[in-house]
Amino acid sequence: MKNSDFAKGHLLMFIATVFFSLNFIVLKYLMPAWMTGYDATFFRICGGCLLFWITSFFVKNTPIDKSDRMMVFLGGILGLFPFMVFFNMAIQYSSVIDVSIIMTTPPVLVAIISIIIDKTRISFWNAVGIFLSIGGAVFLILIGRTHQGEGRDMLGNIFAIISSIAYSFYLISMRKCSTKYNAVSLMRWVFLAGSIGAIPLGIIFLGKAHIMHHPSTIPVLLLLFVIFFPSFLSFLLMPQAIKRIGHQLVSMYQDLIPVLATILAIAFKMDKLFWDQPVAIAIILLGVFISSRTVKKEQFTPEVKS
């Protein structure tokens, strides 16, 4: 592999990571003042779906095999949709820093789901890594209860955990398809399946959204940013990065998201750092590191999106 391709892969992944990190900040600005998590889910999934289908008319597409169609459908309706709706609700109710920290857990959750579904053997150190990561998330939720009313909410953090579980299921369901089909061919169907859940939310809640009755330039532009960059463009950049630097290096960028999100949240005065948050991220990332070092080489190493 050429050094230029390797460097380009890192650049693409860094850009995607910046978009993911900014997504936390922009959504926090929009919710709940301009919309709810339900409204954000409708815009992100349906907007992303529209963009992927438009893009599909300008690129070469690979038809989805009949044997993979059910898994793609389940990945969209039971993976992507609940991931986004609970992620958006978590951002609405809890702090940017808390949610960004909890969203580093999918690699460990994937390991747990694989153990349950695939009867994957678990080593001692893998068990230690899983225990540390889950313990770090529980620690964050429990300690965060003492700061209720300061932008941190236990319910929001629980939503973040549910979102991480849903995303982990999505990663597992897309394990084979993500390497078999190009990003546009696959994601247009995944987002279309996710729209089955998102459209009813739009019908029920969108009419009450403040942004629909009192549109303002800045909120509308920020909403368009959320739809185009983290919900669409980053999904196109990541497969290109994976081809150049591999799943393992791509997955390491997820550790950068809470760092960037924390810096941005503090810089924009949306959040403040409490002592338990650096401790929790250290415990979770230590667990992820230990767990990822012990998995079999052929096991899928997921990347985190938001």
- What's the pLDDT tens digit per position in 118-158? 776 777 877 888 888 888 888 887 776 666 555 667 889 89
Q: Would 303 be classed as within a structural domain?
A: no
Number of domains in the chain: 1
Q: Which of 31, 142, 110 is nearest to 295 (CA)?
A: 110
Average pLDDT over residues 239-260: 75
Please report the pLDDT score of residue 23 as a whole number. Answer: 96
Q: Would 164 be classed as within a structural domain?
A: yes
Please report the pLDDT score of residue 37 as a whole number. Answer: 96
The residue ranking higher by pLDDT, 65 or 3, is 65
Please report the pLDDT score of residue 305 as a whole number. Answer: 52
* Nearest-angstrom CA–CA distance, 81 and 92: 17
The residue ranking higher by pLDDT, 249 or 167, is 167
Residue 294 has pLDDT above 70, yes or no: no
* Nearest-angstrom CA–CA distance, 126 and 292: 8
pLDDT-derived band at 183 (thresholds 50, 70, 90) equals: confident
Q: Would 298 be classed as within a structural domain?
A: no
| Structural tokens at position 37 | 């998590």
* Nearest-angstrom CA–CA distance, 134 and 102: 9
Give residue 33's identity as a one-letter amino acid code: A
Average pLDDT over residues 88-111: 88
Prediction pTM value:
0.87
Contacts of 197 (CB under 8 A, 6+ apart): 45, 77, 81, 82, 85
* Nearest-angstrom CA–CA distance, 105 and 109: 6
Please report the pLDDT score of residue 296 as a whole number. Answer: 44
Q: Would 32 be classed as within a structural domain?
A: yes
Q: Would 304 be classed as within a structural domain?
A: no
Beta carbons of 118 and 55 less than 8 angstroms apart? no
Q: If you search the block for the tokens 């815009």, which residue do you land on?
A: 43
Which structural domain range is residue 110 located in? 3-292
Q: Would 234 be classed as within a structural domain?
A: yes
The residue ranking higher by pLDDT, 106 or 51, is 51
Q: Would 41 be classed as within a structural domain?
A: yes
Q: Would 302 be classed as within a structural domain?
A: no
